């Protein structure tokens, strides 16, 4: 995907801010910026210690947004996330005490350590930007973004995210280990203080909402939209997959492509945008057959092969 100057210097500053904290991962930072512009949530799947939590904090500080962190554990309850009504013995009334989900940037740390019942407490928040507690709907602050982390190595005491939960995430990212030179730079960058201390806001909530509204105005030709849908349709027909991409996945890829075009300084989506983002938006939404899994073919490889099969519109 060709580099094009971004339309707003604040987006450049945002990526520069994040780059001072997370070194050597420009592609991940670009996709994270695209997720913010598209208003979608992000699943960070990687081993401990590569900077997932630090990245979430740096994003919240860069956007001057409220930030809450929930450490998911097996004994965590839905009320610990959403909040609950507290009884006031003086007048016999109940007052709602909001939980940590009522924030702009929510870090769901090690989300796969909580029970499915607790995991599902985030479903409504991620898809509808609201939370229903005891039959009462409470709107969440906007913009609202969930950054969830999970460790793919440990299986003891974890609960794999169900397909309905995975489908709510716009993209899935893997930071990976840094190379030698980058890791040496990390050592010296934290010699006296943590880079997070130097992160200053470059956007606020109003600016983020304005950018998200502008992203929705990015033009998508009908032939390009059809190209997107043909890729999604093929995932539902491929013999290697027993679960294809849902219509929600189509919409999220559409939104992400608009955000990518905007971040690259264009007011129109290209097929290149869809090809590029299919690597991050689609693999976590499909479910391979047992034969495919045992054959060693990954979900990302299957998606890449499907994208190659679809004729690109000209």
Q: pLDDT-based confidence at 3, cuts 50/70/90?
A: very low
How do residues 100-151 score in pLDDT, each as one tens digit? 999 999 999 888 888 888 888 888 888 888 988 888 888 999 999 999 988 7
Distance CA 115, CA 99 (A): 18
Q: pLDDT-based confidence at 5, cuts 50/70/90?
A: very low
Q: What are phi and psi of 234, to 5 degrees?
A: -65, -30
In the predicted model, what is the mean pLDDT of residues 207-224?
A: 94
State residue 237's pLDDT score: 94
State residue 302's pLDDT score: 95
State residue 50's pLDDT score: 77
Nearest to 61 by CA among 98, 13, 125: 13
CB atoms < 10 A from the CB of 223, how many? Answer: 11
Using CA of residue 99, residue 164, residue 46, residue 27, what is the dihedral sign? negative
pTM over 0.85, yes/no: yes
- Tokens 């460790």 — which residue? 151
Distance CA 86, CA 88 (A): 6
Q: pLDDT-based confidence at 1, cuts 50/70/90?
A: very low
Distance CA 276, CA 120 (A): 30
How do residues 177-209 score in pLDDT, each as one tens digit? 888 998 898 888 888 888 888 788 888 889 999
For domain 1-192+201-215, give the CATH number. 3.40.50.300
pLDDT at residue 7 greater than cutoff 60? no
Q: What are phi and psi of 118, to 5 degrees?
A: -75, -40
In the predicted model, what is the mean pLDDT of residues 224-243?
A: 95
Looking only at the bridges linking them, the beta strands covering 83-88 and 241-243 are: unpaired
pLDDT at residue 2 greater than cutoff 60? no
Total count of residues recorded for the chain: 314
In the predicted model, what is the mean pLDDT of residues 153-158?
A: 61
Q: Is 311 helix (H, G, I), strand (E, B) or coil?
A: coil
pLDDT at residue 9 greater than cutoff 80? no
Distance CA 38, CA 18 (A): 18
State residue 6's pLDDT score: 42
Asked if 34 and 263 count as a contact pair (C-beta separation under 8 A), the reply is yes
Distance CA 97, CA 82 (A): 9
Asked if 151 and 113 count as a contact pair (C-beta separation under 8 A), the reply is no
How do residues 14-46 score in pLDDT, each as one tens digit? 888 888 888 888 899 999 999 999 999 999 987
Q: Which CATH architecture fits 218-314? A: Orthogonal Bundle (1.10)
For the chain, give me the number of helices (H) and strands (E)? 14, 11
R_g of the chain computed on alpha carbons? 20
Distance CA 1, CA 16 (A): 20
What are the domain boundaries of the chain? 1-192+201-215, 218-314
Using CA of residue 57, residue 119, residue 257, residue 46, what is the dihedral sign? positive
């Amino acid at each position: 995907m060709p580099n094009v100057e971004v339309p707003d210097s604040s987006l450049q500053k945002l990526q520069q801010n994040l780059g001072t904290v997370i070194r050597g991962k420009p592609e991940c930072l670009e996709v994270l910026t695209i997720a913010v512009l598209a208003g979608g949530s992000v699943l960070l799947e990687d081993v401990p210690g590569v900077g997932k939590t630090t990245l979430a904090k740096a994003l919240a500080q860069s956007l001057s947004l409220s930030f809450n962190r929930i450490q998911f554990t097996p004994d965590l309850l839905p009320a610990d996330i959403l909040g609950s009504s507290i009884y006031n013995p003086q007048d016999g009334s109940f007052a709602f005490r909001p939980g940590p989900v009522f924030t702009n940037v929510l870090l769901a740390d090690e989300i796969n350590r909580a029970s499915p019942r607790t995991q599902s407490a985030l479903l409504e928040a991620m898809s509808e930007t609201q939370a229903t507690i005891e039959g009462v709907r409470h709107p969440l602050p906007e913009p609202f973004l969930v950054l969830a982390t999970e460790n793919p190595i440990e299986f003891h005491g974890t609960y794999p995210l169900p397909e309905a939960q995975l489908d709510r995430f716009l993209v899935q990212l893997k930071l990976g280990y840094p190379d030698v030179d980058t890791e040496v730079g990390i050592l010296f960058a934290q010699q006296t203080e943590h880079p997070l201390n130097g992160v200053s806001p470059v956007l606020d909530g109003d600016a983020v909402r304005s950018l998200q509204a502008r992203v929705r105005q990015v033009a998508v030709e009908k032939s390009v939209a059809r190209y997107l849908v043909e890729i999604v349709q093929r995932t539902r027909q491929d013999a290697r997959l027993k679960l294809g991409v849902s219509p929600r996945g189509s919409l999220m890829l559409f939104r992400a492509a608009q955000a990518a075009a905007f971040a690259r300084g264009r007011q129109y989506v290209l097929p290149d945008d869809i090809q590029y983002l299919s690597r991050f938006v689609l693999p976590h939404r499909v479910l391979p057959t047992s034969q495919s899994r045992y054959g060693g073919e990954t979900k990302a490889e299957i998606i890449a092969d499907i994208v190659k099969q679809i004729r690109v519109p000209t």
